[in-house]
Structure 1
């Protein structure tokens, strides 16, 4: 079995468990490749290298949809990495059931993760049958509308404050050669857009009925029909958006060649790299400016089992670091996400992060799609939404019926 993990020079690092001084090279796979993401993940690498261990970066381009199959294939094929990113939730159910991940329960109890990680649902998403199998590193809410001040200034319009104003401004942007809605072509981006519109237009109660209760009648109902009509508007606004990756779409907003983008709070990292300032160069609207809330999804790291005690020790050290106060602050300020602990100093947070912190403090929270649907069901939603957004022959009514069928058979 090849582990791609080689023992490095011994360092004076105190072991969290055995007390031995160990150091190891640790290959970490993830899908963070944009400018903002790379700056954020570098904070993990810097902190880990300072322990005497060595972070070996295993970035996989193309986003989670491309990276996850590669990661899973390596783990199940006997070529595990030291640590790997997934979204906390149901993506790893089968791998956990197969016993392929390190059990982090002892570490979690030692460091009181249940007391410091907030909200509790974040750690619960890493917990199976009472055992902890991952370390959550952030809270990422995907349903934000990002708006370019330059684009609206060019056409003499005020920056929209909600979804209806955004739709109403689209024709004037189009007349000026500005794309109203930038959208990447990866399926998850279309499904992310749908989730935002579902709440912004349909409301939180509808979202709960469909996503939590799996209410098929609600999925086929009149309120959901309004959601799909709004998706038709979004399709028209995004016509001509040909970029593939999400950060390409974000860059259009930064450059003022697009009016807005519906994307997660990780887009903040791109605005920061471009040295743009929230409230001056761009506006962020959680819940599309209609229903302010946060999803409690996000990123987590899992640690595949390996037959090397030094690597196992390095895995535990890395897990501990990722939860630590200083690393949480350094990473999340650059990532644009919220920290998973509330006892950290975020005085340096920008206006958009402060909005998220206020919503988090107010408790207006929902689980993410990865927390309530299996990976297979999520893939079906992704495929449907990207097909709808790219094929005007599919009517909103037809898309809604297909969506309801998926909900009816969802697990």
Structure 2
């Protein structure tokens, strides 16, 4: 009799379990560790995680793979997608609403309004955010800075003085990978630091023509180009985490990168304040560019998968996952009101600055990381910035004029 009951329970549990295929691009050290945590938590719920990891291109390769799958009528159960792309997939009618999960768990109160609105399609949640990344960070090797007897730069004048000193000491001042998204991200932080949050919003959120080709943009482009001689010649095709590795090892002194870079420092057992420093990009101390990782869920034909999708959505916002994931990833929890005592000084500063920028109106979405502009405009901006970085004969005004044209890309 007990064997029959046991068999019945096993059958019921198998019926409730789902194979949940998850497309993501968390493939570097700190990120891969975070994906593993999510997999384990989903499997504790009785479901099977089917990994669909696509490396490279800051998610561009993953989006190409996703399009192929959706067009063929075989989408994954969940995919890492963010910003305006969520609305575009919503327009295609292929997304599963998770509004019942969000209402039950009170997401409207748990999430900052600037982020909650991005996760909804026509008023219903279709996406679950997992974190808040600050993009406008400058990472510095502490020993390299000590070696040249310098302080972390807070202005552009200071930055170039530190860069000169590092170069004289035989240290590459700035690590970067020669990929279009890394160049775009660096320029985004430079533009914020040169022009401020209001300029940034007018240029990249509102796509105001006069601002895009105006004198402040020209100054931002000139400042961006001034950084180039402080980078190394081996940057072509280098991934961002390899550039972070240069700062970790002391081969390079500084890197402009979002706080996913901190995950690399953590994996290397480096301690903030001792081995490395995290400071806002020069001139951008009072502003905050945010980038949010999130997952959306696709309508799939396989019966029973919806239960697994909704369990995954619930897990993503759970306090346990929010803590473990963000400790690994270098970001801060998107769930508000959490205890951050286990988080390091960089994360605690990020959280304080996020709240402060929200109150001051200087919290802005990262255009270089898919948070605001549609992919065609973002791609056109990437092209303009990449060409300007690589072609010394182009003037800053010519590049600014091209940004204005790029903003009109359909």
TM-score, shorter chain, exceeding 0.5: yes
Gaps of 5+ in 2: 1-8
Give the 3-state SS of the residue equivalent to 2:94 in structure 1: coil
Supply the distance in 2 between the matched residues of 1:11 and 1:139 (Cα, whole angstroms).
40
2: distance between equivalents of 1:398 and 1:168? 28
Distance 1:102 1:51 in 2: 20
- Give the secondary structure class of the aligned counterpart of 1:145: strand
Secondary structure (helix, strand or coil) at the match of 2:133 reads coil
Q: Specify whether residues 34 and 11 from structure 1 end up closer, same or farther in structure 2 by C-alpha distance, changes over 3 A only.
A: farther
Q: Distance in 1 between matches of 2:85 and 2:66?
A: 12
Q: What is the DSSP-based 3-state SS (H/G/I as helix, E as strand, rest coil) of the residue aligned with 1:372?
A: coil
Match of 1:309, SS state, is coil
Structure 1 runs (4+) deviating above 6 angstroms are none
Distance 1:48 1:164 in 2: 49
Determine if contact 2:17/2:46 at 8 Å carries over to the other structure. yes
Q: Cα 1:214–1:241, aligned 2, differ >3 Å: closer, same or farther? A: same
SS at match of 2:49: strand
Deviations 1:310-357 (A, max 9, x none): 111101111111111111111011111111111222211111101111
Please, which of 74, 99, 116 is the counterpart of residue 79 of structure 1?
Answer: 74
1:344 aligned to 2:341?
Answer: no
Contact 1:163–1:290 at 8 Å: present in 2 too?
Answer: no
Partner of 2:32, secondary structure, is: helix
- Tell me: CA distance 1:396–1:11, structure 2 relative to 1, closer, same or farther (3 Å): farther
> Structure 1 regions of 5+ residues with no counterpart?
1-8, 14-19
Provide the rounded CA distance (Å) in 2 between the counterparts of 1:372 and 1:25: 32
Matches within 5 A, 1:319-398: 319-362=313-356, 363=358, 364-369=362-367, 370-398=370-398
Q: What is the distance in 2 between the residues matched to 1:141 and 1:75?
A: 31
**Contact 2:175–2:255 under 8 Å retained in 1:** yes
The residue number in structure 1 matching 2:171 is 178
Q: Is 2:214–2:400's contact at 8 Å kept on the other side of the alignment? A: no
Query: Match for 2:308 among 311, 314, 322?
Result: 314
Q: Which residue of 2 aligns with 1:32?
A: 26
1:339 partner SS: coil
C-alpha distance in 2 between matches for 1:398 and 1:310: 55
Q: Residue 24 of structure 1 contacts residue 53 of structure 1 at CA under 8 Å; is this kept in 2?
A: yes
8 A contact 2:135–2:290 mirrored in 1: no
Matching of residue 103 in structure 1 with residue 97 in structure 2: yes
Using structure 1 for the length normalisation, give the TM-score: 0.91
Per-residue deviation, 1:396: 2.0
Structure 1 residues 169-209: Cα deviation after superposition (integer angstroms, max 9, x where no partner): 22232233321111112211111111100111111121122
Larger deviation: 298-307 or 169-178?
169-178
